[in-house]
Amino acid sequence: MPITEILEENVRKYPEDICLVEINPEVKETRRVTWKEYELMEPNPTTHYRREITWHVMNEKANRFANLLLARGINKGDKVAILLMNCLEWLPIYFGILKTGALAVPLNFRYASDEIEYCVKLADVDILVFGPEFIGRVEEIADSISKNRLLFYVGDNCPTFAEDYNSMTANCSSLSPDIPLTDEDDAAIYFSSGTTGFPKAILHNHESLMHSCKVEQNHHGQTKEDVFLCIPPLYHTGAKMHWFGSLLSGGKAVLLKGTSPEYILDAVSKEKCTIVWLLVPWAQDILEAIESGRVHLEDYELSQWRLMHIGAQPVPPSLIKKWKEIFPKHQYDTNYGLSESIGPGCVHLGVENIHKVGAIGKAGYGWEVKIVDEDGMVVPQGSVGELCVKGPGVMTCYYHDKKATDEVLKDGWLFTGDMAKEDEDGFIFLVDRKKDVIISGGENIYPVQIEDFIRTHEAVHDVAVIGIPDKRLGEITCAIIEVKENQMLSEEEVDEMCMALPRYKRPRKIIFADIPRNPTGKIEKPRLREMYAGGSVVNAQTHS
């Protein structure tokens, strides 16, 4: 069953119940604003601390956008990209796309202009929907991407090179277009990447999306009374697939724009949140704020908060031990997943298994797992091999990339590229990543892109980028640079050069040293990690 039917069912059951709340804590709090009130006000959404929307209005907005798309020639199988920060418009737009039979294509809001252009073209996008934060980046590529595509703008003061989403949808029908959908129909394209540069386009069908709803609710038992606090970006499979548990249960979710401990605890307190998904840095920040005395728990109403779960990166057991000391009544869970497996949950620790903190868990609901050697044979328990997963949430393929698809999809099994081992109780522990992706604060960073950029400096002979452990972010980016003979290069010069990179890609630590390569010319990154990561935890204070 396509997830659009779940939305329709929630409208029938709970039409006037609040389904989504958006909180912008950077704005002074005044009062609650409903969507209908908001539409009657002077347009300026950034001035509102809190907005909310009911299931009925969300569905109505999705239908309006779906009918706009159909009127503009979008048909089943076409693609519509979403480039928005978390906001109340995000999910109605996503569902409006699905209701037409088109594919939703969420884009990472960190993408630079060239990455946006690359992804739009790779996924054969017909329409790009973007928000005010991206005007500059989209304008840079507008002439290139608008030749065969439409640009829809969500926000105030629509730029001249785009069309105004608000005015266009205002007069569209709010009735469902009733386009027939099946589980086998293509539904969405998400983006991922290995270490070889630009992202791959990951194709999922409606069965994948529906399975992620079932997995999330099965693992965390959402009910109508639960309130989910969603902080990570909705373009990420993790955030959206966790929210799918609220969709399936008809519960309320809160979109929080801000990650400080005060913002998070205030939102949990005021909105009576019961489930919160955190990244390691945010959990670490909360603990440090409490321990330093900056935050006082008695200032908040937190008794209803029942579940804290973490994903997107390895979780230090010491963090969870400290968390349980401060929040002894909390359930804790972690999930492992990939965009290729429709996000979190294909491996799942389980709230009852906190004694196994450090493990990623066992096969999730409806999933199978195995650990294999280089020949694809299952390794003995306790031995290290590549983790493989199989289930209804595995991607259809890498769009327009048969070679890459064939490398990771074999007989229905997805070869994750992550090295793992199973203990005597059947719990899986990640050992290392077969690929060299750096995960910092839950975001994937791809070393080759940074290496290629730094190599353009005339004094650089060679460069390798690796991840080194960090207490707060999990990993930070470290650039090892080999300088040309008789040349000089300083950290300050590298810092200044890297200001041209997006902030999250800038190296946080710089080391000047020789770069070891093997006889075939490949950089020996395991050796570099052994030399400079050393398994010890460091603080990312070198660069910001």
pLDDT tens-digit series, residues 298-339: 999 999 999 999 876 667 787 888 899 999 999 999 989 889
Read off the DSSP letter of residue 470.
Answer: E
Give the mean pLDDT of 101-109. Answer: 95
pLDDT tens-digit readout, 500-537: 998 888 999 999 999 887 544 567 887 888 888 864 33
Q: Residue 487: which CATH number?
A: 3.30.300.30
Do residues 115 and 231 share a domain?
yes
Q: Amino acid identity of 143?
A: D
Measured CA distances, 527 to 194, 440, 450, 480, 493 (Å): 20, 21, 19, 12, 26
Q: What is the pLDDT of residue 1?
A: 83
Of the residues 224, 258, 292, the one at which a domain ends? 258
Measured CA distances, 461 to 261, 481, 493, 510, 532 (Å): 43, 8, 15, 15, 19
Q: What percent of the chain has pLDDT over 90?
A: 66
Q: Considering the domain boundaries, does residue 19 fall inside one? A: yes
Q: Determine contact, residues 129/93, Cβ cutoff 8 Å.
A: yes
Q: Considering the domain boundaries, does residue 285 fall inside one? A: no
Tell if the pTM clears 0.85, that is, is over it: no
Do residues 138 and 211 share a domain?
yes
Question: CA-to-CA distance for 94 and 106, rounded, in angstroms?
Answer: 8
Do residues 403 and 456 share a domain?
no
Do residues 396 and 496 share a domain?
no
Q: Considering the domain boundaries, does residue 223 fall inside one? A: yes
Q: Determine contact, residues 472/284, Cβ cutoff 8 Å.
A: yes
Give the mean pLDDT of 376-384. Answer: 94
pLDDT tens-digit readout, 444-454: 777 877 887 89
Q: Considering the domain boundaries, does residue 289 fall inside one? A: no
Do residues 448 and 429 share a domain?
no
How many distinct structural domains can be found in the chain?
3
Q: Determine contact, residues 152/162, Cβ cutoff 8 Å.
A: yes
Do residues 450 and 398 share a domain?
no
Question: CA-to-CA distance for 276 and 462, rounded, in angstroms?
Answer: 43
Do residues 427 and 505 share a domain?
no
Residue found under tokens 């005339």: 458
Q: What is the pLDDT of residue 319?
A: 82
Do residues 318 and 232 share a domain?
no
Of the residues 413, 433, 453, the one at which a domain ends? 433
Q: Residue 372: which CATH number?
A: 2.30.38.10
Phi, psi of 347 (to 5 degrees): -125, 140
Q: Residue 94: which CATH number?
A: 3.40.50.12780
User: Which domain does 139 fall in, by range?
Assistant: 3-258
* Radius of gyration in angstroms for the set of CA atoms belonging to the chain, rounded to a whole number: 23
Q: Considering the domain boundaries, does residue 278 fall inside one? A: no
Angle between helical axes of 206-220 and 3-13 (0-180°, round to 10): 60
Do residues 173 and 32 share a domain?
yes
Q: Are strands 368-372 and 307-310 parallel, antiparallel or unpaired?
A: unpaired
Q: What is the pLDDT of residue 344?
A: 85
Q: Considering the domain boundaries, does residue 450 fall inside one? A: yes
Do residues 383 and 527 share a domain?
no
pLDDT tens-digit readout, 226-262: 999 999 899 988 888 899 999 999 999 999 998 899 9
Q: Considering the domain boundaries, does residue 115 fall inside one? A: yes
Do residues 196 and 89 share a domain?
yes
Q: Considering the domain boundaries, does residue 263 fall inside one? A: no
Phi, psi of 105 (to 5 degrees): -130, 85
Do residues 191 and 105 share a domain?
yes
Of the residues 433, 460, 481, the one at which a domain ends? 433
Give the mean pLDDT of 140-160. Answer: 93
